[in-house]
Chain A
Amino acid sequence: MSGGAALVVLLLATSLVTAAVTFVLPEHREAVRNAVNVGGALLKVLLTSLLVFGVFTGAEFEWRVAFLPGADLVLRADPIPLLFVFLSALLWLTTTVYAIGYRAGDGRSSRFFGFFGLCASMAVGIALAGNLVTFLIFYELLTVATYPLVVHGGGQRARLGGRTYVAYATAGGAALLFGTAWLQHLVGSTEFGDPATVTAVATEQPLAMTAVFLVLITGLAVKAVLVPLHGWLPKAMVAPAPVSALLHAVAVVKAGVYGIVRVVHDLYGMALVDELGALTPLAVVATVTIVYGSLRALTRDDLKGRLAYSTVSQLSYIVLGVSVFGLTSTTGGLVHLVHQGIMKVTLFYGAGILDRQLGVTRASQMDGVGRRLPLTMAAFTVAALGMIGFPPTVGFVSKYYLGMGAVEAGQPWVVAVLAISGALNASYFLPLIARAWFRPAGEPADAEVVAEEGDNRVGMTTATSDDAVPPGPAPTRGRWETDRWLLLPTLSTGASVLALGVLAGAPGSPLTWAAFIAEELMQP
């Protein structure tokens, strides 16, 4: 095995080994478990940096074994995967730290962190997959690995939420499997990064290839929460905050969007998809999702539900960037892959701290929390402003590139969509910020607002009225406003929301990286 292949496999193995060790650790060995998990995450960041450095100096990183006739198992570090792997490695580190502070395990920590590590591995597999078959395998494994995390809290609501999740994910997976098989049958290979072969087949059989594309996208759309296949996400909100953070930022939903990006850019090639006439329908679906998600978020009082619908909306920015033809908008879509992850993870960290420290789970309870948790709320505020697209945060950078790209591509209607969604985002995030900072701290949870009809629906709220495991004691405060393990990740991701926006033009920023990738993709 060459050095390049070894690095790729090692990257996959880091989290896997971490998970294996964690599973066998007895529950009370907290220090060891924490050390192993943080150490594993750190090692992964290190390896990823090596990988990035290697790729930019021109090295090749590929690992390939024969798997099925005509379909190898391939892991390869191409530019787009690098972007995603780097993001997921970094956010995995912060989320691991956060999960330790959150005591997400609740007496079942070995199980929790074990599956946590497994997910990390699967995400790397998804990111580095060199063909659709490999992608599919890891994609399905991710479903299996995340299920225990979604239902971790236990109780009826969690189980029902988990069941919904699995039902959706399996159906989507089935569609993806079918599409992959069909493509393999038509083209004879499903390698990423080889649009020429696919294009050749597509000129012969445009109808079949369009159908394959639609099936693939439909399968991926389940995890990418495109309307109307988004129903599972708000129900999966029963998961503990670190899991939600991860689900929304790098793992499950991101995997779906990432899959769409790869299918459009690396499998079919943008030019072909455009030729098949599938870009515009995709753009329309993305538009509907953006507006619909924002509208739904507006009506949710429970914080995590609001954030969940915001994810529905934000992810489609990426899809929109993918589905508008052109260099600038591709850059915008790719860079939002990173930006959305950082912003959303920060928001969930903040929501988790609010829940853990103050028991605040609803927007209407947020009056004056800025005084009690100033640093947390500062990070939350920055991330929320980013979601609105406020300069100079990263959200603005994404939005700007998406809008510009649309104008360049002769589709100025996209700008109207961005404007509407910006106004909607503002109207569900700004009240939170205004409450937190400019209202006197009031008696939380007034009775009228609690009588929300979502309460009697399954798995929608974070209330713990059923037989779920009761949350542990509020974290110790120490010198800081909350546990340091909770605060540090929140502050670092919050700061990067601002820093990466201010330094968007600097070399090495996600923007320059995305622009570089987009340029490579656009070369005929």
Chain B
Amino acid sequence: MSALWWLSPVLLPLLAAGVALVSGRARAWLPAVAPLPALLLAVTGPPGEPPELSWLLIGLELDLDGIGRPLLLMSALVWAAAGAAARRLCATDRGFAALFLVTMAGNLGVLIAGDLITLYASFAVMTYAAYGLVVHERSPFAVRAGRVYMVLAVLGEVALLAGVMLTVGIADSTAFEDIAGALAVTDGGRAIGGLLVVGFGIKAGLVPLHLWLPLAHPAAPVAASAVLSAAMIKAGLLGWLRLLPLQEAWSGWGQTLLVLGLTGALLGIVVGLTQRDPKVLLAYSSISQMGLLITLVGVGLAASDASGPTGLAAAGYAVHHGLAKAALFLGVGVYTSGALAAAHRMYLGATALVGLSLAAAPLTGGWVAKQTLKGTVETLYVGPGLAGLSVALTATGAGTTLLIGRLLRLLREPPELPEGRPKPVRVATGSGEEPTPADGDTPAFLGTPRLLPRLAERPLVGSWSLLTAAALVGGWGLHRFGGDAIATPEIEVASLWDGLWPVSLGLLLLAGVAWRRHHFGLDPPPGRGEIPAGDVLLLVVAAGHRLRVMARRVEPVAARTFETLRDTREVAEHRIRPGPGLDRVEELITRWRSAGILLALVGAALIVALALGR
């Protein structure tokens, strides 16, 4: 019984996926209900010792510790809310419902995994199943996003699998502590660690492996965007926390992650500010926020004996970001659905509040999370320039404030109502939610029909409100699951000021921009100054193109080589044509002659045998 209870976060979504395939009626509400046992498990804590399940997989082990538990709580909540928001979508599309549930099972499995194989298996299931969520819309944008997603996903899986085999090989165990320990003391440990950094880093949006993220997260329907950007993005982080040797000083990878993390934090803000699609902007905000978490992991990795505080601080920050980001993504869905068009100001206010929390304005949940993160970095950091690092971390709050300001500006006009004007914003990817024209949905006794959303949108609006509230207060205490290893920040002048100045700076800048716009009307024309989603991706594609062009010019020989390369690339893009070079080789060795040569060899061997014979 206890084993079933332990397994319920994975088992129930999988069962639900099966049911969703056959039952049309259950399909609508299953995605919202399936993560509830996981939620309960996270709230009540581990029910006794983890069960022995050596007959499952290659010996399945489960664990729910101070890092996994808050993440499970957040993820289950986000999945449940997203499941409710995706109600109509799931009801009409059984494939989406099933894949949504399988992805959920994988994601929750990562959080309760107690050994490397279980972690890897869950991670892989989550990664591949999520492809279906990304390409759901089938628009050209989604198809392209799906392709980029898949290429990166396969790369990540391959790096991870190699890393998994090598780590288990050297550690001779699948337990996390053994692996982290073995990585720390083995010669090739750092190289293997690199495979894990890359494998999990792709999911976590580590720069420069983030290029799929601003495409894939916005391409999915809002509910799926929410789980992608809030819950699943944390799975990569957890992989690092579980496996990298945080207790030892690994300065090489530590500093690399530190630099890449800060780069990501900055890049997410700068590129995000140029976006016109609110979902792409939010995806870039996720890259920025993950950058801070990656910085923390980098600092922890460079320091010795840092596994406890790093993990707990990271979990706390991840929880808050997850809740806030899910609320914001669902908020975009609420906006496009037009459900709160009548109460647009209230909607904008709530979004602004969540945004402020994300920017770590004083006394919000985000402030608690960020103060904890910053405190931990300051304690653990070894090396020069601590003051600069500290200021940089704090200053990202200003950037986030700007991002939120930009988001609010994109959403400022009330959305299109069923028979209203054309949409003021370009939401390139849509939300998957068809606004229903039924206006008389709301019974009169429920209050003013203008303020209450129409019946069909209520799950979406409800889950959005729930997550908004959770994001605002959730930071307080959620990260304390691990006990007293790290302290909640004190409410004092210094810490409050730490939260206040970046936000004030951001608001000041926003006010400046608004003033400028008001007086000079300097809004750039649409399409100008926008960095296309996927930023670095363009460079990669352009470089590939450039290389091919150059190769054609250089020499016929080189050109032929690149022809083969191009063919391989085209295969990856489903336009399969045989590579001429390989064909020639094949023809050479598969002619009838091979058989004849074999016979001749046998004859030769016969002669050798006679010569050697006794």
Identify the A interface with B (CB < 8 A): 164, 167-168, 170-172, 174-175, 178, 182, 185, 205, 207-208, 211, 214-215, 218, 222, 227-232, 234-235, 295-296, 298-301, 363-364, 385, 389-392, 396-397, 399-400, 403-404, 406-408, 412, 415-416, 418-420, 422-423, 426-428, 430-431, 434-435, 437-438, 440, 449, 452-454, 501-507, 511
**Smallest CB gap from B600: residue in A:** A171
Whether A215 and B605, one on each chain, are in contact in the complex, defined by CB atoms closer than 8 angstroms, is yes
Residue B239 is within 8 A (CB to CB) of chain A in the complex: no
Binds A, one of B118-126, B373-381, B499-507: B118-126
What residues of B have a CB within 8 angstroms of the CB of A298 in the complex?
568, 571, 576
**Smallest CB gap from B136: residue in A:** A438
Distance A390 CA – B157 CA, assembled complex (angstroms): 9
Could you list 28 A-B pairs, sorted by A, with CB under 8 Å? A178-B605, A185-B613, A211-B612, A214-B605, A215-B602, A222-B598, A228-B589, A229-B598, A295-B582, A296-B582, A296-B586, A299-B567, A299-B576, A364-B574, A400-B164, A400-B165, A403-B161, A403-B169, A407-B168, A412-B188, A418-B162, A419-B161, A428-B571, A431-B574, A434-B574, A438-B135, A440-B138, A452-B577
Known: A403-B166, A418-B165, A505-B57. 10 other contacts (CB 8 A): A172-B598, A175-B605, A222-B598, A231-B591, A299-B582, A300-B576, A391-B117, A400-B58, A400-B117, A507-B55
Whether B128 and A407, one on each chain, are in contact in the complex, defined by CB atoms closer than 8 angstroms, is no
Residue B489 is within 8 A (CB to CB) of chain A in the complex: no
Residue B159 is within 8 A (CB to CB) of chain A in the complex: yes
Q: Which of B157, B165, B583 has most A Cβ within 10 Å?
A: B165
Residue B448 is within 8 A (CB to CB) of chain A in the complex: no
Within 8 A of A (CB), among B95-151: 95, 117, 120-121, 124-125, 128, 131-132, 135, 138, 146, 150
What residues of B have a CB within 8 angstroms of the CB of A504 in the complex?
57-58
Distance A152 CA – B166 CA, assembled complex (angstroms): 47
Distance A422 CA – B156 CA, assembled complex (angstroms): 11
Contact A164/B57 with A299-B583, A404-B165 known, Cβ cut-off 8 Å: no
Which of A164, A404, A430, A453 is close to B150, meaning CB atoms less than 8 Å apart? Answer: A430
Closest Cβ of chain B to A131, distance in Å, is 20
Closest Cβ of chain A to B173, distance in Å, is 11
Distance A403 CA – B120 CA, assembled complex (angstroms): 15
What residues of A have a CB within 8 angstroms of the CB of B43 in the complex?
none
Contact A407/B121 with A215-B602, A418-B162 known, Cβ cut-off 8 Å: no
Which of A175, A222, A299, A438 is close to B577, meaning CB atoms less than 8 Å apart? Answer: A299
Whether B606 and A399, one on each chain, are in contact in the complex, defined by CB atoms closer than 8 angstroms, is no
Whether B55 and A505, one on each chain, are in contact in the complex, defined by CB atoms closer than 8 angstroms, is yes
**Smallest CB gap from B54: residue in A:** A505
Whether B590 and A427, one on each chain, are in contact in the complex, defined by CB atoms closer than 8 angstroms, is no
Which of A232, A364, A389 is close to B161, meaning CB atoms less than 8 Å apart? Answer: A389
Which of B59, B121, B158, B567 is close to A396, meaning CB atoms less than 8 Å apart? Answer: B121
Distance A430 CA – B574 CA, assembled complex (angstroms): 10
Whether B613 and A230, one on each chain, are in contact in the complex, defined by CB atoms closer than 8 angstroms, is no
Within 8 A of A (CB), among B586-614: 586, 589-592, 594-596, 598-599, 601-602, 605-606, 608-609, 612-613
What residues of B have a CB within 8 angstroms of the CB of A214 in the complex?
605
Distance A440 CA – B142 CA, assembled complex (angstroms): 14
**Smallest CB gap from B171: residue in A:** A407
Residue B349 is within 8 A (CB to CB) of chain A in the complex: no
Distance A452 CA – B58 CA, assembled complex (angstroms): 44
Q: Which of A175, A227, A430, A507 has most B Cβ within 10 Å?
A: A430
Closest Cβ of chain A to B100, distance in Å, is 14
Contact A434/B56 with A299-B576, A396-B121 known, Cβ cut-off 8 Å: no
Ordered nearest first, which 7 A-B pairs have the shortest CB separation?
Answer: A407-B169, A231-B590, A403-B165, A391-B121, A506-B55, A228-B589, A299-B578
What residues of A have a CB within 8 angstroms of the CB of B117 in the complex?
391, 400
Distance A168 CA – B596 CA, assembled complex (angstroms): 8
Whether A505 and B158, one on each chain, are in contact in the complex, defined by CB atoms closer than 8 angstroms, is no
Whether B57 and A502, one on each chain, are in contact in the complex, defined by CB atoms closer than 8 angstroms, is yes
Closest Cβ of chain A to B104, distance in Å, is 16
Residue B46 is within 8 A (CB to CB) of chain A in the complex: no
Residue B572 is within 8 A (CB to CB) of chain A in the complex: yes
What residues of B have a CB within 8 angstroms of the CB of A178 in the complex?
602, 605-606, 609
What residues of B have a CB within 8 angstroms of the CB of A231 in the complex?
589-591, 594-595
Whether B55 and A423, one on each chain, are in contact in the complex, defined by CB atoms closer than 8 angstroms, is no
Distance A32 CA – B188 CA, assembled complex (angstroms): 65
What residues of B have a CB within 8 angstroms of the CB of A423 in the complex?
154-155, 158
Whether A503 and B55, one on each chain, are in contact in the complex, defined by CB atoms closer than 8 angstroms, is yes
Whether A164 and B602, one on each chain, are in contact in the complex, defined by CB atoms closer than 8 angstroms, is no
Closest Cβ of chain A to B253, distance in Å, is 19
Distance A17 CA – B157 CA, assembled complex (angstroms): 49
Residue B170 is within 8 A (CB to CB) of chain A in the complex: yes
Whether A227 and B121, one on each chain, are in contact in the complex, defined by CB atoms closer than 8 angstroms, is no
What residues of A have a CB within 8 angstroms of the CB of B128 in the complex?
385, 390
Interface 0/1 of B303-347, CB less than 8 Å to A: 000000000000000000000000000000000000000000000
Within 8 A of A (CB), among B444-483: none
Whether A174 and B599, one on each chain, are in contact in the complex, defined by CB atoms closer than 8 angstroms, is yes
What residues of B have a CB within 8 angstroms of the CB of A397 in the complex?
58
Identify the B interface with A (CB < 8 A): 54-60, 95, 117, 120-121, 124-125, 128, 131-132, 135, 138, 146, 150, 154-155, 157-159, 161-162, 164-166, 168-170, 188, 567-568, 571-572, 574, 576-579, 582-583, 586, 589-592, 594-596, 598-599, 601-602, 605-606, 608-609, 612-613
**Smallest CB gap from A426: residue in B:** B154
Contact A407/B166 with A178-B606, A231-B590, A391-B121 known, Cβ cut-off 8 Å: yes
Q: Which of A214, A385, A416, A423 has most B Cβ within 10 Å?
A: A423
Whether B594 and A449, one on each chain, are in contact in the complex, defined by CB atoms closer than 8 angstroms, is no
Distance A41 CA – B169 CA, assembled complex (angstroms): 42
Whether B572 and A427, one on each chain, are in contact in the complex, defined by CB atoms closer than 8 angstroms, is yes
Distance A172 CA – B594 CA, assembled complex (angstroms): 11
Whether B594 and A228, one on each chain, are in contact in the complex, defined by CB atoms closer than 8 angstroms, is yes
Whether A407 and B165, one on each chain, are in contact in the complex, defined by CB atoms closer than 8 angstroms, is yes
Whether B579 and A299, one on each chain, are in contact in the complex, defined by CB atoms closer than 8 angstroms, is yes
Whether A415 and B165, one on each chain, are in contact in the complex, defined by CB atoms closer than 8 angstroms, is yes
Whether B568 and A435, one on each chain, are in contact in the complex, defined by CB atoms closer than 8 angstroms, is no
Whether A416 and B162, one on each chain, are in contact in the complex, defined by CB atoms closer than 8 angstroms, is yes
Contact A391/B608 with A228-B594, A230-B590, A407-B170 known, Cβ cut-off 8 Å: no
Whether A364 and B146, one on each chain, are in contact in the complex, defined by CB atoms closer than 8 angstroms, is no
What residues of A have a CB within 8 angstroms of the CB of B578 in the complex?
299-301, 452-454
What residues of B have a CB within 8 angstroms of the CB of A222 in the complex?
598
What residues of B have a CB within 8 angstroms of the CB of A182 in the complex?
609
Distance A180 CA – B217 CA, assembled complex (angstroms): 62
Whether B609 and A208, one on each chain, are in contact in the complex, defined by CB atoms closer than 8 angstroms, is yes
Distance A205 CA – B613 CA, assembled complex (angstroms): 10
Closest Cβ of chain A to B330, distance in Å, is 25
Distance A182 CA – B614 CA, assembled complex (angstroms): 11
Whether B135 and A449, one on each chain, are in contact in the complex, defined by CB atoms closer than 8 angstroms, is no
Whether A207 and B602, one on each chain, are in contact in the complex, defined by CB atoms closer than 8 angstroms, is no
Whether B576 and A301, one on each chain, are in contact in the complex, defined by CB atoms closer than 8 angstroms, is yes
Whether B168 and A404, one on each chain, are in contact in the complex, defined by CB atoms closer than 8 angstroms, is yes
What residues of A have a CB within 8 angstroms of the CB of B161 in the complex?
389, 399, 403, 418-419, 422
What residues of B have a CB within 8 angstroms of the CB of A230 in the complex?
590
Distance A296 CA – B132 CA, assembled complex (angstroms): 28
Whether B613 and A427, one on each chain, are in contact in the complex, defined by CB atoms closer than 8 angstroms, is no
**Smallest CB gap from A364: residue in B:** B576
Distance A300 CA – B135 CA, assembled complex (angstroms): 25
Distance A174 CA – B601 CA, assembled complex (angstroms): 11
**Smallest CB gap from B60: residue in A:** A505
Whether A168 and B138, one on each chain, are in contact in the complex, defined by CB atoms closer than 8 angstroms, is no
Distance A454 CA – B166 CA, assembled complex (angstroms): 40
Whether B598 and A453, one on each chain, are in contact in the complex, defined by CB atoms closer than 8 angstroms, is no
Whether A171 and B169, one on each chain, are in contact in the complex, defined by CB atoms closer than 8 angstroms, is no
What residues of A have a CB within 8 angstroms of the CB of B54 in the complex?
505
Distance A270 CA – B591 CA, assembled complex (angstroms): 34
Whether A211 and B159, one on each chain, are in contact in the complex, defined by CB atoms closer than 8 angstroms, is no
Distance A417 CA – B583 CA, assembled complex (angstroms): 22
Contact A211/B162 with A430-B150, A434-B131 known, Cβ cut-off 8 Å: no
Distance A185 CA – B437 CA, assembled complex (angstroms): 90
